[in-house]
Amino acid sequence: MYYRQMGEVPHKRHTMFKKDDGSLFREQVMGTRGFSGTQSILYHHYMPTEVVKSEGAGNYLPEYEVEQSLKHRHFLTSKVVKQGNALKARTYLVGNQDLLIGTAYVTAPMESFYRNGDGDEMLFIHHGTGQLETMFGTISYRPGDYLIIPIGTIFRVLPNENETTKMLFVESFSQITTPRRYRNEYGQLLEHSPFCERDIRGPETLVTFDVKGEFEVLTKSRGKISSHILGHHPFDVVGWDGYLYPWAFNIEDFEPITGRVHQPPPVHQTFEGNHFVVCSFVPRLYDYHPESIPAPYYHSNVNSDELLYYVAGNFMSRKGVREGSITLHPGGIPHGPHPGKTEASIGKKETLELAVMIDTFHPLKIVKSSQDFEDPAYMYSWFEKKE
């Protein structure tokens, strides 16, 4: 990311920054990889360590099924009935040691505040509008937004009144960044990157609360959720600067890379974390070789699992999927277009599909409750019935 400043900060870091009454604002260095990664410095009215009460609030790691056989899976997230605020509504689908993935129907604002102490979070907004309130400021969100929230950031999701926000979420156990191959040695996105810094939105406004009282922050870390009651409002930041902060990128601003023949999935890569990548499939022109086959070739994910979340449009290589479907194609067995889809793609000039793909380089495990909205026949949907 690039340098950004909001609010008031002193001329030099680690120097006195005084309030009007002569007392000091409290400086907090917030960074990754010790003091060697990206970081920001925040200035608070009160000590960020001022906790009135701390107690356990439960576990969060899901229970996984014992998979009996290796097979392709299809989950219909439109059948999920769980609703609530952006934390309580989370329905975990799959996960491993690197990330947890699920969906949420957000119907209510978060009353308590929340932070993930394990890693970054990615919220993809399928539909709905609202605000992501954070200690760094507020970001307004809309359909198609990827919201990237750094580890340790205190935030709340507030859907607009009378609206439901449907989101795909990733709880990472690492930092989520732009792909390394699209950045130069100084960190700037290169000319051949499918998006640039101009497409990235940081916090729009910084609202400071100089308020004492008891405010709950739910902290997720080490497989548990802890309730921390602060003695002041957690959004007491008067200013900050640095390279670490929440930001938004809309999938509509992803510029697809096309070619004369079918391009492999890495050209769609948008973000990366530790042992996983996130890709965006967006409306684009098809291949222009006179004998090209636009549909993807059959392929084996030898070293990765492939998860696809279908957002909108008609996904040209699949039958039976719908808006909100999630397919999982595990490594070890091949997958590809459904019967008839290869032939049907020949001669087509464009696709209007919209989907998010997450490839993981450690196997994904299936959360037990996912079976409640699974299509059990999906593994056999490539079998061509003879008339």
**CATH assignment of the domain containing 189:** 2.60.120.10
Whether the CB-CB separation of 72 and 329 falls below 8 Å is answered with yes
Verify that 258 and 374 share a domain, yes or no. Answer: yes
Domain contains 74: no
* Percent with pLDDT over 90 in the chain: 87
* CA-wise closest residue to 229 among 219, 217, 242, 247: 217
Verify that 108 and 177 share a domain, yes or no. Answer: yes
Verify that 226 and 373 share a domain, yes or no. Answer: no
pTM of the model: 0.95
Q: Higher confidence at residue 66 or residue 1?
A: 66
Task: Tell me the pLDDT tens digit for each residue of 210-261.
Answer: 999 999 999 999 999 999 999 999 999 999 999 999 999 999 999 999 999 9
pLDDT of residue 357 exceeding 80, the answer is yes
Verify that 84 and 221 share a domain, yes or no. Answer: yes
Verify that 232 and 91 share a domain, yes or no. Answer: yes
For the segment 20-40, the average pLDDT, to the nearest whole number, is 94
* CA-wise closest residue to 183 among 191, 173, 175: 191
Q: So what's the pLDDT on residue 315?
A: 77
Reading the block at residue 93, the tokens are: 């689908």
Residue 288 belongs to what domain range? Answer: 251-380
From CA 337, how far away is CA 316, in angstroms rounded? 8
Q: So what's the pLDDT on residue 301?
A: 77
Whether the CB-CB separation of 174 and 117 falls below 8 Å is answered with no
**DSSP 3-state assignment of 40?**
strand
Sheet with 224-232: list strands edge to edge.
Answer: 51-59, 224-232, 212-221, 113-116, 155-159, 130-134, 137-141
Q: So what's the pLDDT on residue 386?
A: 58
Q: So what's the pLDDT on residue 156?
A: 98
Domain contains 341: yes
Domain contains 44: no
| Count of the separate structural domains present in the chain | 2
pLDDT of residue 384 exceeding 80, the answer is no
Verify that 158 and 301 share a domain, yes or no. Answer: no
The one-letter code for the residue type at 281 is F
Confidence grade of residue 34 (pLDDT, cut at 50, 70, 90): confident
> Within a 10 A sphere around the Cβ of 283, how many other Cβ atoms?
13
> For 322, how many CA atoms within 13 A lie in the half-sphere containing its CB?
8
From CA 106, how far away is CA 60, in angstroms rounded? 18
Verify that 137 and 280 share a domain, yes or no. Answer: no
Verify that 259 and 228 share a domain, yes or no. Answer: no
Q: So what's the pLDDT on residue 222?
A: 93
Verify that 211 and 265 share a domain, yes or no. Answer: no
Contacts of 199 (CB under 8 A, 6+ apart): 249, 250, 253
Task: Tell me the pLDDT tens digit for each residue of 138-191.
Answer: 999 999 999 999 999 999 999 999 999 999 999 999 999 999 999 999 999 999
Verify that 300 and 181 share a domain, yes or no. Answer: no
